Chain A
Amino acid sequence: DVVMTQSPLSLPVTLGQPASISCRSSQSLVYSDGNTYLSWFQQRPGQSPRRLIYKVSNRDSGVPDRFSGSGSGTDFTLKISRVEAEDVGVYFCMQATHWPPYTFGQGTKLEIK
Chain B
Amino acid sequence: QVHLVQSGGGVVQPGRSLRLSCVASGYTFSINGMHWVRQAPGKGLEWVAAIWHDGSKRYYTDSVKGRFTISRDDSQNTLYLQMNGLRVEDTAVYYCARDPQHSFDVWGQGTVVTVSS
Which A residues are within 8 Å of any B CB, using their own CB?
31, 35, 37, 39, 41, 48-51, 54-55, 60, 92, 94, 96-97, 99-107
Contact = CB atoms under 8 A, between A and B. Distances in A.
A39 B103 contact: yes
A72 B18 CA distance: 41
Interface of B: 35, 37, 44-47, 50, 59-62, 95, 102-105, 107-110
Contacts, number: 60
22 contacts: A31-B102, A37-B102, A39-B103, A41-B45, A41-B104, A48-B107, A48-B109, A49-B95, A55-B102, A60-B105, A92-B44, A94-B103, A94-B104, A100-B47, A100-B61, A101-B59, A101-B62, A102-B35, A102-B47, A103-B47, A106-B44, A107-B45
Given A100-B60, A101-B61, A107 B103 contact: no
Given A100-B59, A102-B35, A51 B44 contact: no
B107 A49 contact: yes
Nearest to A61: B105
Listed from nearest, the 7 A-B pairs whose CB atoms lie closest are A37-B102, A96-B102, A102-B47, A100-B59, A48-B107, A104-B45, A54-B103
B60 A104 contact: no
A106 B108 CA distance: 21
Given A99-B59, A100-B60, A51 B47 contact: no
A57 to B, nearest CB: 13
